[in-house]
Amino acid sequence: MNHLSYFLIYCDDVERGKRFYEAVFGWHIEPWGPPDYYLIFPKWPDRSMTGGLYPRREPLTGSGTRGFECSFSVAELEPIATAVVANGGTIDMPEYRIEGVGNVFYFIDTEGNRVGAMKYDKRA
């Protein structure tokens, strides 16, 4: 299977998105490359998988998913859910179990993107 090696999160307000993801996942995010582009390092200084934040190219209209929906592996779900709400996000789908995989919940970030947080079951 091919594994995700890079992701890009489009933002209406890049600085707001940066603050949100730093607070929720503890990511290290720094300016890099083109103007208004930020590089994401999931755990500093681990650079095994990176992502980016960039201004949305055109305003969102209507509803529905715009692009890939990513889920991130986390050690615990409750602190992430609390951080999402405390930093301006909303819970889109409360925590539920996927047998043989783990527990997951989905949230909407400050930029209108749907994101998953998954606590994998180590016994699976």
User: How confident is residue 66, by pLDDT bands cut at 50, 70 and 90?
Assistant: low
Summarised one tens digit per residue, pLDDT across range 18-54 is 999 999 998 889 998 788 899 887 665 666 668 889 9
User: How confident is residue 58, by pLDDT bands cut at 50, 70 and 90?
Assistant: confident
- The pair phi, psi for residue 55, each rounded to 5°, is -60, 140
The amino acid occupying position 88 is G
pTM for the whole structure:
0.78
CATH architecture, domain 6-58+69-120: Roll (3.10)
CA 92 to chain CA centroid, nearest Å: 13
Q: Tell me the domain boundaries of the chain.
A: 6-58+69-120
Residue 24 confidence (pLDDT): 95
Summarised one tens digit per residue, pLDDT across range 4-19 is 668 889 998 999 999 9
